[in-house]
A and B are shown apart, each in its own frame.
Chain A
Amino acid sequence: GDSVTQMEGPVTLSEEAFLTINCTYTATGYPSLFWYVQYPGEGLQLLLKATKADDKGSNKGFEATYRKETTSFHLEKGSVQVSDSAVYFCALRGFNKFYFGSGTKLNVKP
Protein backbone atom coordinates (compact mmCIF):
# COMPACT_ATOMS: atom_id res chain seq x y z
CA GLY A 1 0.00 0.00 0.00
CA ASP A 2 0.85 3.66 -0.08
CA SER A 3 3.23 4.98 2.56
CA VAL A 4 5.66 7.77 3.38
CA THR A 5 8.96 7.57 5.23
CA GLN A 6 10.74 10.66 6.45
CA MET A 7 13.87 11.21 8.45
CA GLU A 8 13.72 10.99 12.19
CA GLY A 9 14.12 14.12 14.23
CA PRO A 10 14.68 16.28 15.99
CA VAL A 11 16.93 18.28 13.70
CA THR A 12 18.78 21.15 15.36
CA LEU A 13 20.41 23.82 13.22
CA SER A 14 21.88 27.25 13.70
CA GLU A 15 20.24 30.19 12.00
CA GLU A 16 21.24 30.57 8.33
CA ALA A 17 22.23 26.90 8.04
CA PHE A 18 21.14 24.74 5.10
CA LEU A 19 18.22 22.40 5.71
CA THR A 20 17.38 19.06 4.16
CA ILE A 21 14.61 16.80 5.42
CA ASN A 22 14.49 13.54 3.54
CA CYS A 23 11.22 11.99 2.42
CA THR A 24 10.63 8.87 0.34
CA TYR A 25 7.37 7.30 -0.64
CA THR A 26 5.75 4.16 -1.91
CA ALA A 27 2.65 4.54 -4.01
CA THR A 28 0.48 2.94 -6.62
CA GLY A 29 -0.81 5.18 -9.35
CA TYR A 30 0.16 8.83 -9.64
CA PRO A 31 -0.05 10.56 -6.28
CA SER A 32 0.52 14.20 -5.50
CA LEU A 33 3.13 15.01 -2.87
CA PHE A 34 2.90 17.59 -0.11
CA TRP A 35 4.82 19.10 2.75
CA TYR A 36 2.75 20.30 5.67
CA VAL A 37 4.12 22.28 8.60
CA GLN A 38 2.86 22.55 12.17
CA TYR A 39 4.10 25.56 14.10
CA PRO A 40 3.90 25.40 17.91
CA GLY A 41 0.31 25.67 19.09
CA GLU A 42 -1.13 25.67 15.59
CA GLY A 43 -2.67 23.24 13.13
CA LEU A 44 -1.20 21.75 9.99
CA GLN A 45 -0.59 24.21 7.19
CA LEU A 46 0.24 23.40 3.61
CA LEU A 47 3.82 24.45 2.91
CA LEU A 48 4.17 23.30 -0.70
CA LYS A 49 3.06 20.63 -3.10
CA ALA A 50 3.92 18.96 -6.40
CA THR A 51 1.39 17.13 -8.51
CA LYS A 52 3.51 15.26 -11.04
CA ALA A 53 7.00 13.93 -11.62
CA ASP A 54 9.75 16.57 -11.92
CA ASP A 55 7.49 19.31 -10.56
CA LYS A 56 9.12 21.56 -7.99
CA GLY A 57 7.02 23.00 -5.21
CA SER A 58 8.25 26.11 -3.44
CA ASN A 59 7.10 28.50 -0.75
CA LYS A 60 8.72 30.74 1.87
CA GLY A 61 12.19 29.78 0.65
CA PHE A 62 11.47 26.05 0.95
CA GLU A 63 11.66 23.78 -2.10
CA ALA A 64 11.00 20.14 -2.90
CA THR A 65 11.16 18.28 -6.21
CA TYR A 66 8.98 15.29 -7.07
CA ARG A 67 11.48 12.61 -8.11
CA LYS A 68 9.75 9.58 -9.48
CA GLU A 69 12.97 7.69 -10.27
CA THR A 70 14.07 7.83 -6.63
CA THR A 71 10.54 8.03 -5.17
CA SER A 72 11.62 11.03 -3.13
CA PHE A 73 10.37 14.50 -2.21
CA HIS A 74 13.11 15.97 -0.03
CA LEU A 75 12.50 19.36 1.58
CA GLU A 76 15.28 21.95 1.36
CA LYS A 77 15.90 25.51 2.44
CA GLY A 78 19.08 27.42 1.88
CA SER A 79 19.07 29.52 5.03
CA VAL A 80 16.80 28.68 7.95
CA GLN A 81 15.47 31.17 10.47
CA VAL A 82 14.41 30.77 14.08
CA SER A 83 10.83 31.22 12.91
CA ASP A 84 11.12 28.02 10.85
CA SER A 85 11.16 25.96 14.05
CA ALA A 86 8.23 23.58 13.66
CA VAL A 87 7.27 19.99 12.85
CA TYR A 88 7.35 19.15 9.15
CA PHE A 89 5.24 16.36 7.65
CA CYS A 90 5.74 14.82 4.25
CA ALA A 91 2.55 13.43 2.73
CA LEU A 92 1.19 11.87 -0.40
CA ARG A 93 -2.35 12.00 -1.60
CA GLY A 94 -3.59 8.86 -3.20
CA PHE A 95 -7.19 8.03 -3.95
CA ASN A 96 -9.25 10.04 -1.49
CA LYS A 97 -6.85 10.09 1.42
CA PHE A 98 -3.51 11.41 2.59
CA TYR A 99 -0.68 9.26 3.86
CA PHE A 100 1.70 11.03 6.21
CA GLY A 101 5.17 10.47 7.48
CA SER A 102 5.94 10.56 11.18
CA GLY A 103 7.00 14.20 11.16
CA THR A 104 10.40 15.81 11.66
CA LYS A 105 10.84 18.39 14.38
CA LEU A 106 13.14 21.25 13.42
CA ASN A 107 14.75 23.43 16.05
CA VAL A 108 16.60 26.50 14.79
CA LYS A 109 18.87 28.25 17.28
CA PRO A 110 19.88 31.91 16.99
Chain B
Amino acid sequence: EAGVTQFPSHSVIEKGQTVTLRCDPISGHDNLYWYRRVMGKEIKFLLHFVKESKQDESGMPNNRFLAERTGGTYSTLKVQPAELEDSGVYFCASSQGQQTSTEAFFGQGTRLTVV
Protein backbone atom coordinates (compact mmCIF):
# COMPACT_ATOMS: atom_id res chain seq x y z
CA GLU B 1 0.00 0.00 0.00
CA ALA B 2 1.39 3.40 -0.98
CA GLY B 3 2.00 5.84 1.82
CA VAL B 4 1.40 9.56 1.90
CA THR B 5 3.20 11.20 -1.00
CA GLN B 6 4.22 14.81 -1.25
CA PHE B 7 5.50 16.81 -4.21
CA PRO B 8 7.93 18.42 -4.64
CA SER B 9 10.42 17.29 -2.04
CA HIS B 10 12.26 20.58 -2.25
CA SER B 11 11.36 23.99 -3.62
CA VAL B 12 13.42 27.17 -3.72
CA ILE B 13 11.55 30.27 -4.81
CA GLU B 14 12.04 34.00 -4.64
CA LYS B 15 10.06 36.24 -2.36
CA GLY B 16 6.84 37.26 -4.05
CA GLN B 17 6.55 34.16 -6.20
CA THR B 18 3.87 31.51 -5.93
CA VAL B 19 4.40 27.90 -4.93
CA THR B 20 1.96 25.00 -4.86
CA LEU B 21 2.58 21.94 -2.76
CA ARG B 22 0.74 18.71 -3.39
CA CYS B 23 -0.19 15.85 -1.10
CA ASP B 24 -1.60 12.45 -2.05
CA PRO B 25 -2.97 10.75 1.05
CA ILE B 26 -3.32 7.05 1.63
CA SER B 27 -6.22 5.74 -0.42
CA GLY B 28 -9.42 5.61 1.62
CA HIS B 29 -8.28 8.09 4.26
CA ASP B 30 -10.93 10.76 4.61
CA ASN B 31 -8.86 12.89 6.97
CA LEU B 32 -6.02 14.96 5.58
CA TYR B 33 -3.85 17.34 7.56
CA TRP B 34 -1.23 19.94 6.74
CA TYR B 35 1.50 20.79 9.23
CA ARG B 36 4.58 23.00 9.09
CA ARG B 37 7.91 23.00 10.87
CA VAL B 38 9.77 26.28 10.80
CA MET B 39 13.46 26.68 11.69
CA GLY B 40 13.75 23.55 13.82
CA LYS B 41 10.82 24.49 16.02
CA GLU B 42 7.76 22.44 16.80
CA ILE B 43 5.60 21.01 14.06
CA LYS B 44 2.51 23.19 13.92
CA PHE B 45 -0.95 22.39 12.68
CA LEU B 46 -2.18 24.30 9.65
CA LEU B 47 -5.49 22.72 8.69
CA HIS B 48 -7.61 19.61 8.52
CA PHE B 49 -9.85 18.28 5.73
CA VAL B 50 -12.54 15.68 6.08
CA LYS B 51 -13.04 14.51 2.52
CA GLU B 52 -13.29 17.74 0.55
CA SER B 53 -14.46 19.94 3.42
CA LYS B 54 -12.24 22.08 5.61
CA GLN B 55 -12.91 20.89 9.15
CA ASP B 56 -10.46 23.18 10.88
CA GLU B 57 -8.23 25.84 9.36
CA SER B 58 -7.36 27.60 12.58
CA GLY B 59 -3.63 27.14 12.02
CA MET B 60 -3.41 28.84 8.65
CA PRO B 61 -1.09 31.80 9.22
CA ASN B 62 -2.74 34.30 6.87
CA ASN B 63 -4.66 34.69 3.64
CA ARG B 64 -1.56 34.10 1.52
CA PHE B 65 -2.11 30.40 2.16
CA LEU B 66 -4.85 28.55 0.31
CA ALA B 67 -5.55 24.85 0.67
CA GLU B 68 -7.88 22.79 -1.46
CA ARG B 69 -8.94 19.20 -1.68
CA THR B 70 -11.14 18.87 -4.69
CA GLY B 71 -12.99 15.58 -4.88
CA GLY B 72 -11.73 14.55 -1.51
CA THR B 73 -8.58 12.92 -2.85
CA TYR B 74 -5.31 14.80 -3.18
CA SER B 75 -4.76 18.22 -1.67
CA THR B 76 -2.82 21.29 -2.67
CA LEU B 77 -1.42 24.07 -0.53
CA LYS B 78 -0.67 27.28 -2.38
CA VAL B 79 1.39 30.12 -0.99
CA GLN B 80 0.90 33.39 -2.87
CA PRO B 81 2.88 35.57 -2.64
CA ALA B 82 5.59 33.79 -0.68
CA GLU B 83 7.47 35.62 2.08
CA LEU B 84 10.79 34.79 3.71
CA GLU B 85 9.09 33.59 6.91
CA ASP B 86 7.20 30.93 4.96
CA SER B 87 10.39 28.88 4.67
CA GLY B 88 10.18 25.56 6.43
CA VAL B 89 9.17 21.95 5.98
CA TYR B 90 5.53 21.33 5.12
CA PHE B 91 4.17 17.96 6.13
CA CYS B 92 0.99 16.32 5.01
CA ALA B 93 -0.65 13.52 6.97
CA SER B 94 -3.72 11.36 6.57
CA SER B 95 -5.74 9.14 8.85
CA GLN B 96 -8.72 6.87 8.57
CA GLY B 97 -10.60 8.03 11.64
CA GLN B 98 -10.79 10.99 13.98
CA GLN B 99 -10.53 9.17 17.28
CA THR B 100 -7.73 10.34 19.53
CA SER B 101 -6.19 6.87 19.42
CA THR B 102 -5.87 6.88 15.66
CA GLU B 103 -2.40 7.47 14.33
CA ALA B 104 -1.73 9.73 11.40
CA PHE B 105 0.56 8.72 8.55
CA PHE B 106 2.94 11.41 7.41
CA GLY B 107 4.58 12.14 4.12
CA GLN B 108 8.24 12.95 3.68
CA GLY B 109 7.56 16.65 3.67
CA THR B 110 8.28 19.47 1.25
CA ARG B 111 11.20 21.68 2.18
CA LEU B 112 10.33 25.20 1.05
CA THR B 113 13.01 27.86 0.93
CA VAL B 114 12.04 31.43 0.12
CA VAL B 115 14.99 33.64 -0.82
Residues of A within 8 A of B (CB): 4, 29-32, 34, 36, 42-46, 49, 51, 89, 91, 93-103
Contact = CB atoms under 8 A, between A and B. Distances in A.
Contact of A103 (B43, B48, B103): B43
17 contacts: A31-B100, A42-B108, A43-B91, A44-B43, A44-B93, A44-B109, A49-B101, A91-B43, A94-B100, A95-B100, A96-B48, A96-B55, A96-B56, A97-B45, A97-B56, A102-B42, A103-B42
Max count, chain B CB within 10 A of own CB: residue among A30, A94, A103: A103
Nearest to A36: B106
A97 B3 CA distance: 19
A102 B41 contact: yes
B108 A32 contact: no
B44 interface: yes
Contacts, number: 64
Interface of B: 3-4, 6, 33, 35, 37, 40-45, 48, 55-56, 91, 93, 98, 100-109
A51 B101 contact: yes
A37 to B, nearest CB: 11
Contact of A97 (B48, B91, B105): B48
Given A44-B43, A100-B42, 16 more contacts: A4-B42, A29-B100, A43-B4, A43-B6, A43-B107, A44-B93, A44-B109, A51-B100, A93-B100, A93-B101, A96-B55, A97-B48, A97-B56, A98-B35, A98-B43, A100-B43
Nearest to A4: B42
Contacts of B102: 93
A49 B103 contact: yes
A69 B6 CA distance: 39
A43 B3 CA distance: 10
A34 B42 CA distance: 14
A75 to B, nearest CB: 16
Smallest CB-CB A-B distances: 4 pairs: A43-B108, A44-B106, A100-B43, A51-B101
Nearest to A93: B100
Contacts of A44: 43, 91, 93, 106, 109
